[in-house]
Structure 1
């Protein structure tokens, strides 16, 4: 009976992961459909015609349309950067251990290797808090620190945060910054749309005679509700990820409670932020890294993470 229940659970999980893979282009089309409906309501129906109204209406429409198009470009740029950027894969035949005395990398011994294979811990480290290599039974390979296996993608992902159905991809070391920018610009865009359509939404429930076809009015109403809902939900999600970045942890690591009482990768808020967004401030708000940062910051490659040297509770 126990074996049958276990097999059923494994089969259900497999079917669930297969279903998530199958969403694929459907989710991308859904996102583009929401963008299309929003574009029609804001640009085509409401603020586009207002450009020719004259006076303050023209100025307001110009400001709204300029901000709307700028944020839309940044949103789509960030979104497709997350979709098409590999979150980070384990290099072939990767093998790493940390030598405590030399502070360098060294091959795993046979005893250590067998110990790692038999261990099912999510985060392995030695007594000094240094990261240790782990073994993935599904991929049959060693895993770098902070790497996790994604059942949806069917492979190990470097510094995996979560698998996001909206971007049809894992969020990991190489596209986490792009995901955060996607949240940021989505929040700004949906907030702008909500505020710009608020007067039209209020007028919808008043006795004012609103020009336009019923379909156009319904589209405006739907757009307002959708963007308000997305704005509030993305705000909560963004606040959560800001706290994760400030502590240099991921959603998986926080869920596994590996960040308490002292998280060895938390090296201070400023340096934690730089590990995700890079040193070059010119690139902080665009989904890209400078060549200098990619060359001088191994952490951006997802394999090598500095650890804190003070594990005695001293505040950084």
Structure 2
């Protein structure tokens, strides 16, 4: 008998809570090694050492604040769920009363026998989630861990105990960005200590602080390299205006109707038009009003593909 992996979704929720503690534990260890053990005492050495320590600590604390702000924005922000009683708009001219899976007719009177659960991405079909018993807006997918449909779902992330979707995707990208900068800074700043550790150079501190410095360097090096790869992958997804799930789905269809060009994909689909908000986990009120895609229900498409669909 085949295993049903979705039975373990509750275990993934519990794992996510543990991962938050793990993330905070790594941050506390890094803070101890960088601030209390190494560069904090160096502030009182005078000369170039004090100046270097001050610069490292200033940048370290700034990136740490932005990292934590972005992280908890992802954790605490609802990724976007389908509004109650949401129904797709019907284009009577095109006859887009696309079929849904279920009984022959639903209570709105749509003919359900001629529809598919998921249509061709280049010819979007109205979809229906049998688990949630509701319509699915464009680019919406059901998350088995959260137990509901998520708007523009990218993936469920155990590190943040949350789905990454339409309303918190920007915050997730900023979390990756600031995590990479912070871990790279820590790795570079502790590199001289790491080299001295193996070359027999003089290192100030107790065996405990030296061990903390060594472990911190190794952890931050590993995280900086892994996050860099993950961040590059997501930047490529933003450039094509797609998600992790959609990138897999559209392999069978080279025409992706939501790709508006890199600039529009960046501004009108994820980060907004107000440049003052690009690097903070928030949106301006103007962007939220004038860019429907940021709300997760409406997405502009390529004009040429629209013309082909009407033809």
Cα deviation, residue 106, structure 1: 8.0
- Uncovered stretches (5+) of structure 1, i.e. residues with no partner: none
Aligned residue pairs total 297
Provide the residue aligned with 1:39 in structure 2. 31
| Cα distance in 1 between the residues matched to 2:98 and 2:77 | 30
* Deviation >3 Å, runs of 4+: 100-103, 105-116
Can you list the C-alpha shifts for 1:275-298, whole angstroms capped at 9, x where unaligned?
Answer: 100010000000000001111111
With normalisation by structure 2, the TM-score equals 0.90
Contact persistence 1:130–1:307 (CA under 8 A): no
| Cα distance in 2 between the residues matched to 1:269 and 1:278 | 13
| Cα distance in 1 between the residues matched to 2:92 and 2:187 | 55
Can you list the C-alpha shifts for 1:202-246, whole angstroms capped at 9, x where unaligned?
Answer: 000012232221111111000000000000000000000000000
Q: Does residue 1:120 correspond to 2:117, yes or no?
A: yes
Contact persistence 1:87–1:174 (CA under 8 A): yes
Q: How does 1:1-316 map to 2 (within 5 A)?
A: 5-6=1-2, 9-10=3-4, 12-14=5-7, 16-99=8-91, 101=93, 110-116=109-115, 119-121=116-118, 123-124=119-120, 129-258=122-251, 260-274=253-267, 275-311=269-305
Contact persistence 1:28–1:166 (CA under 8 A): yes
SS at match of 1:257: helix
- Uncovered stretches (5+) of structure 2, i.e. residues with no partner: 100-107, 307-311
Note closer, same or farther for the CA distance 1:249–1:259 as it changes in structure 2 (3 Å cut). Answer: farther
Can you list the C-alpha shifts for 1:62-99, whole angstroms capped at 9, x where unaligned?
Answer: 10000000000000000000000000000111110452
Can you list the C-alpha shifts for 1:173-225, whole angstroms capped at 9, x where unaligned?
Answer: 00000000000000000000000000000000012232221111111000000
With normalisation by structure 1, the TM-score equals 0.89
| Cα distance in 1 between the residues matched to 2:266 and 2:70 | 18
Can you list the C-alpha shifts for 1:15-70, whole angstroms capped at 9, x where unaligned?
Answer: x2111011243111111000000000000000000011000001000100000000
Cα deviation, residue 132, structure 1: 2.7
| Cα distance in 2 between the residues matched to 1:131 and 1:235 | 33
| Cα distance in 2 between the residues matched to 1:253 and 1:215 | 48
Q: CA RMSD in A?
A: 2.1
Contact persistence 1:161–1:250 (CA under 8 A): yes
| Cα distance in 2 between the residues matched to 1:100 and 1:241 | 37
Cα deviation, residue 112, structure 1: 4.1
Contact persistence 2:153–2:164 (CA under 8 A): yes
